[in-house]
Amino acid sequence: MQPVQLGPKPLTREDVQAVARHDVPVEIPEATRELVASARAHIERLATAEQPTYGVSTGFGALAVRHIPPDRRTALQRSLIRSHAAGAGPEVEREVVRALQLLRLRTLSTGHTGVRPTTVDAMAAMLNAGITPVVHEYGSLGCSGDLAPLSAAALALMGEGLVRDASGDLVEAGTALRRAGIEPVVLAEKEGLALINGTDGMLGMLVLAISDLHALLDLADLTAAMSVEALLGTDRVFAADLHALRPHPGQSASAARIAALLDGSEIMESHRGPDCTRVQDAYSLRCSPQVHGAARDTVAYAEVVADRELASVIDNPVVLADGRVESNGNFHGAPVAYVLDFLAIPVADVASIAERRTDRMLDVNRSHGLPPFLADDPGVDSGHMIAQYTQAAIVSELKRLAVPASVDSIPSSAMQEDHVSMGWAAARKLRKAVDGLTTVLAVELLTAARALDLRAPLKPAPATAAAVAKLRETVQGPGPDRHLAPEIAAAEALIRSGALR
């Protein structure tokens, strides 16, 4: 892929994924450097003025009332980063940190933050060298920026703290920069604030989650179709004219996908005749498009919010086009936090309906001729009984993760920052929820594939048969009980690979 160009133009969600997940390089055009230099000139003018300016010649947060003399301002910026790099807990994933670095760099490249061109160049060089600061799970309240996470990244830019190099090895930041030929940055006025006052961590996780959820909702339509087929359900409920009566776009899209996946199925044809006494299927089959579709529409709304935030300049204070440097509250993460919380709800519900479909295939009283728990020798074998337990445990966890973080503001900084968004926390729990949904769908995939095999000699639809065949490359078909955990892991890996799409 071509390098991602940085400047005032918004990044796309595809740009973020390319840099975060695929190590596509970034470039700083000369026009961007000129824009950054122009904004920097305004900061340097204010730095020598008698009137104090927040973040340029004052302290920060509750200490903003203190005027800092010129000979202490380098120490001020350095102390800001060191003190704010106060995270704790496990390391955050590499792709999240790279997204965070990229998004902060894009804001710095807009010419509204007042950093020096050399600082922008150094950040770009770090990204391109694959140097990833160690960022910890806890430390952001989602207001005044993702402070601790962004400070960890800024600390590495200064040559301090720990990083992962391009090989994934844990090294001192100064060592990694030296090996890459990058000079550590000595921060000047305003630069410390500019490096940490952003929603970049929560936004990066939102963009990555949107991508993941597109793939998982496509997969959920597939596993739903396989389950409907295996349970001898009807495909009449997926007809386009029925869904046109309720014109939610996501619902129509899911219904059309499920109908197409079932097209040409011998199993479906086997029970279409007048002898079929089924009036209607259970909700978990019949209402799959309504649930999956609502989830799709929620993701579509999340895309709107993400794209707006990708077009935003988040810093405090900001440098305006006329040279004014003004304080603001744009760093408050509420717009992003709300939608991160919102997404956790359909993730939990899509997993919940998938678990219900799985359970029907295992219950001899509801599975229409399938053996109990799809076991080879029921009683001796337990089949997929406990795989459904795993699903149930995860679905229960997903319900807890759907509880919003954004309503749980907690005051900080001596009540200067008395209302915060908790957007970082919302993003972290959404990532866990996306992983949980992946596992739940993996179990449904395994179970539905086994059920379809047990419907032989009747053949499934070409599309669902292809999914079963792909799974069978790594997971055996029906037979006596085997160690199931590796098979669940194999199904998860297959889902994450994108091969089933």
What are the catalytic residues?
Answer: 54
The DSSP line for 112-156 is SS---HHHHHHHHHHHHTT-EE--EEE---SSSSSHHHHHHHHHH
- Please give the DSSP secondary-structure letter assigned to residue 88: E
Characterise 281 by phi-psi region: left (phi > 0), alpha (psi -120 to 50), beta (else).
Answer: beta
Return the closest-CA partner of residue 109 out of 303, 315, 309, 307.
Answer: 315
Are 422 and 146 contacting, i.e. CB atoms less than 8 angstroms apart? no
**Cα dihedral: 258, 261, 264, 265 (round 10):** -80
End-to-end CA distance of the chain: 22
Rounded CA-CA distance 170/133 in Å is 9
The SS3 of residue 466 is helix
Residue 164 in 3-state DSSP? Answer: strand
- Which tokens belong to 461? 């639809």
Helices 484-497, 200-230: crossing angle, 10 deg rounding? 120
String of b and e for 437-462 (b: at least 16 CB within 10 Å)? bbbbbbbbbbbbbbbbbbbeeebbbe
Structural contact between residues 101 and 131, judged by C-beta atoms closer than 8 angstroms = no
Q: Kindly state the tokens that stand for 454.
A: 């047990």
In the DSSP assignment, the letter for residue 425 is: H
Helices marked H in 333-404 — which ranges?
334-362, 385-401
Contact (Cβ atoms closer than 8 angstroms) between residue 213 and residue 247 = no
Asked if 192 and 414 count as a contact pair (C-beta separation under 8 A), the reply is no
Residue 259: name the closest of 281, 283, 286 by CA: 286
Report residue 148 as tokens. Answer: 């601790």
